[in-house]
Structure 1
């Protein structure tokens, strides 16, 4: 890759370094696209497998302002280059991937020295990134590609581990099962650094502010609470929803099926690109869909087979005869679908989702109510926020297990029944609001980042690591 140094044609240059998961890479890339429209030049730094996956989205127009820069990670027999991503990664190799990512700090330092950007924007699991930036006299800001509620809850739990999480925001109705999930979220350790310590250090080393993927109309009080906890300015960047891809072949396939259906009658069922349902959950969802009698498109995914394992077969994993029984009203698709395109279609009236934050943002933007079936990570918190906002309904678990009757009940409530009208109406109100307000959050983001870079140049980082972004807390003096 040809690396060009520093400021490009008078533009503010930013190096972006996301964690190696699709749910992080995608928001970072959308942020990059938004910034390049506002006189920024972006160096997008990641592993070769991730760079290759986003290369097709880098049009000629984008490539003039977004340069892809490879971050080389050490390889091993267990962790060849194609596994330098969480996509399809066997769970037991997650520690190895984090260890490899940590060891890329020296390579990252060389990249920074060669590029000399005005600013680094980094993710929440690599505290070495702002440290390396600081050694090169470059300010660094953390971008949290989750919601503010999630970030605030995690920060509060890390600061006050014996606290009652359910009492912080009583409106967010967490079950005991979900509280336990949140409390156990970041207890793992790699290279003698617990994930909770990484998050703390990433927060502390961010220069005067934190960026979050959200907007005030849905998370205003959580944004303010997070700012108090961190004693830093928390700047929402908006929903950062990717525009529907112009994949003509895929679009036509699904549009042909959807066009035969009535308005708002179809359900999209998808659990994200990197989560795989257990056979038990898959079976309960299948029977729940069958009992609901609604039309649906269900995206199923299985881990990448390896080590001599046989690839899973869709029909074998689903209940016997299921595909044949629902053939007239259900489409089961393995792998990938143009999710935004389907959500935007007039006949889509519901989204049965794991409540990954990007999926929540997409559903709200396109005015589609959510049937929430959270599985892990931030998803239970996101689902309860969806419930509190009245833009969806949570499928309640029975001792941690999904039940087909509950799946069918919630699907019918949200999609068909009169009691679901409030949810259908509310999510459309949010969609209309987002359409009217446009990109106003991004204007504030640009103002803050430009101010930071300008302050850094004037100071040359001699007296302070960063100048204040708000009165209450700043980066620590050197």
Structure 2
């Protein structure tokens, strides 16, 4: 079935979005939807019914972006009322994948009724087959790095660690890889993720059956991986959207933050944020705080209360509050991370290197210290620290934990004005920022991306 489209900016597309049921997927898909709607394209956004109210404020174009609610079927083993990965432990997320698969008839009915030109998806491995039957093009849209997709391969739990960690033929950047202590992150590919499917089988099918692959990146940071995937999936279009970060609003940092930060010298404060999805064990939480204390520098730490605690205050190490009073602040709620990174007093940012956060700090002037937690963050960190050399990674000990001494040492290293390593990191990051901050770069990527979609639709 061929769509009658002229290849120009007046050719408006209708795109259905069907992301994995996680806020780390809903939000990037919605950011892309906003960029596309800004150009006049129509979006039908499929998501669980209870999630819609939580995303409505992020919809910048409600006249063009329509939320279409899905009712999740009951799945034995899935916590009652669960509609996203929030509050669903990793070992139970296979049941959430079953619930997603259980919406297939609803998705088919919606696509049949709305007749979009394209459908974007990730975990729904059955979407391409369904789309093909309806004359709709399917685009596998990944919200995580091209690196993570470059390393996906067939894995079994019986494989030796060295075989699991072996890089695939032609892999472009051998410094961007997992460590032996992180083999579990690759063994996860062999874990069940749905009914009778492993995670690797689900993603591999999703990729292979698609009409095109799309990634939320710039060639300026992940070019070698984009080329590798193009070669690996020869004949399939590889489309890049850019990071699609929302436009920074003109809002100002609240007075409470400005007042506290203004007490300190420019570039002297260490800021730490791991995001709302990261919940540490109490001993890990306390060890991190002691690391900030040990650095001797002023610090602002924004972390979710650790497991078993309802507030950060009840989890503070004994005597900590008194010892750091006046130079250290620990906060347990949401913080305006992007605005804080722009405050002149912030000189160092300690984070997990999540994909969205990675783009934010690359556009900042802070020194970067990374403590990755999950598989995607590990590869992001190796790209930043080993390949691009714009950050340092805090090494984990034999127990896979971060020690206060190692954290303090990493912070002092990047904050030492006389350190050659600190100067190199700063210089490399400044050069990369200059490239990424060009006013029309994101615009160019979106325009090229739309052109690629239009070409795909008329094939």
The TM-score range, normalised by the shorter chain, is: 0.7 to 0.9
**Residue 172 of structure 1: which of 160, 176, 180 is its match?**
176
Q: How does 1:113-128 map to 2 (within 5 A)?
A: 113-123=112-122, 125-128=123-126
Find the counterpart in structure 1 of residue 189 from structure 2.
186
Q: Does 1:17 align with 2:18?
A: yes
Q: Deviations over 1:430-464 (max 9, x none)?
A: 22211215222222111100111233xxxxxxxxx
Q: What's the counterpart of residue 103 of structure 1?
A: 102
Let me know the Cα RMSD of the aligned residues.
2.6
1:242 is aligned to 2:237: no
Deviates more, 1:41-50 or 1:68-77: 68-77
In the TM superposition, residue 108 of structure 1 has moved relative to its aligned partner by 0.9
Contact 2:305 2:315 in 1 (8 A): no
Of 191-200 and 92-101, the range deviating more from structure 2: 92-101
**Which range is displaced more, 379-388 or 84-93?**
84-93
Q: 8 Å contact 2:75–2:95 — kept in the other structure?
A: no
Which residue of 2 is the match for residue 64 of structure 1? 63
Change (3 A) 1:256 1:75: farther
Native 8 Å contact 1:13 1:42 kept in 2: yes
Structure 1: how far apart are the matches of 2:168 and 2:322?
A: 44
Name the counterpart of 2:395. 396
Contact 2:142/2:216 (CA < 8 Å) preserved in 1?
A: yes
Secondary structure of the structure 1 residue equivalent to 2:66? strand
1:162 is displaced (CA, Å) by 5.3
Whole-Å separation in 1 of the counterparts to 2:94 and 2:178: 29
Shift of 1:269: 1.0
Which residue of 316, 320, 335 maps to 2:318?
320
Q: 1:285 aligns with which of 279, 282, 288?
A: 288
* Separation of aligned partners in 2, 1:174 and 1:10: 44
Distance 1:157 1:364, change over 3 A: farther
Structure 1 segment 6-85 matched on structure 2, within 5 A: 11-59=12-60, 62-75=61-74, 79=78, 82-85=81-84
Query: More displaced, 70-79 or 390-399?
Result: 70-79
* Residue 296 of structure 1, CA deviation: 2.1
Partner of 2:261: 258
Residue pair 2:18, 2:120 contacting (<8 A) in 1 also = yes
Output one character per residue of 1:86-131: Cα deviation in whole Å (capped at 9) or x when no partner.
12334453222121111111111111112111110112x2102222
Give the drift of 1:140.
0.7
Equivalent in the alignment of 2:135: 137
Which residue of the partner structure matches residue 297 of structure 1?
300
1:355 touches 1:374 (CA, 8 Å); kept in 2?
yes
For 2:95 and 2:314, locate their aligned partners in 1 and report how far apart those are by CA, in whole Å: 32
Q: 1:415/1:39 Cα in 2 relative to 1: closer, same or farther (>3 Å)? A: same
Question: What is the deviation of 1:80?
Answer: 6.7
Quote the Cα distance in structure 2 between the aligned partners of 1:396 and 1:163.
18
Contact kept? 2:82, 2:88, Cα under 8 Å: yes
**Residue 348 (structure 1) aligned with residue 346 (structure 2):** yes
SS at match of 1:86: coil
Query: Residues 252 and 28 (structure 1 numbering): CA distance in 2 closer, same or farther, change over 3 Å?
Result: farther
Q: Which residue of 2 aligns with 1:275?
A: 278
CA distance in 2, matches of 1:58, 1:52: 11
SS of aligned partner of 1:193: coil
**Residue in 1 that maps onto 2:200:** 196
Q: Given the superposition, is the C-alpha separation of residues 235 and 65 from structure 1 closer, same or farther in structure 2, using an over 3 Å criterion? A: same
SS of the equivalent of 1:366 reads: coil
Q: Look up the SS of the partner of 1:185 in the other structure.
A: helix
Aligned to 2:405: 405
Q: Is the 8 A contact 1:323 1:332 kept in 2?
A: no
1:236-264 superposed Cα distances (whole Å, 9 cap, x missing partner):
2112223346666x733323322333222
Does the CA-based 8 Å contact 2:266-2:347 persist in structure 1?
Answer: yes
- 2:231 counterpart residue number: 228
1:331 is paired with a residue whose SS is: strand
Q: CA separation in 2, counterparts of 1:429 and 1:435?
A: 10
Matching residue of 2:437: 435
Map of 1:462 onto structure 2? none
CA distance in 2, matches of 1:78, 1:203: 28
TM-score computed with the length of structure 2 as normaliser: 0.88
Secondary structure of the structure 2 residue equivalent to 1:210: strand
Stretch moving more, 188-197 or 267-276: 267-276
Compute the displacement of 1:187 (Å).
2.0
Gaps of 5+ in 2: 157-161
Residues 1:91 and 1:196: Cα distance change in structure 2 (over 3 Å): closer
The alignment status of 1:153 with 2:151, answered yes or no, reads yes
Q: How many pairs were matched up?
A: 436
* Alpha-carbon separation, structure 2, partners of 1:266 and 1:46: 40
CA offset at residue 377 of structure 1?
2.4
- Which whole-Å CA distance do the structure 2 matches of 1:172 and 1:393 have between them? 14
Q: CA 1:296/1:44 → structure 2, altered by over 3 Å: closer, same or farther?
A: farther
Whole-angstrom distance in 2 between the partners of 1:144 and 1:155? 16
Seen in structure 2, the aligned counterparts of structure 1 residues 322 and 148 have a Cα distance that, compared at 3 Å, is same
8 Å contact from structure 2 (residues 216, 244) kept in 1:
yes
Q: 2:159 corresponds to which residue? A: none
- 1:210 is aligned to 2:213: yes
Instruction: Provide Cα deviations, 1:122-148, integer angstroms capped at 9, x if missing partner.
Output: 12x210222222221111101111111
Residue deviations 1:197-245, cap 9 Å, x none? 00000101110x2111111111111111122122233222112223346
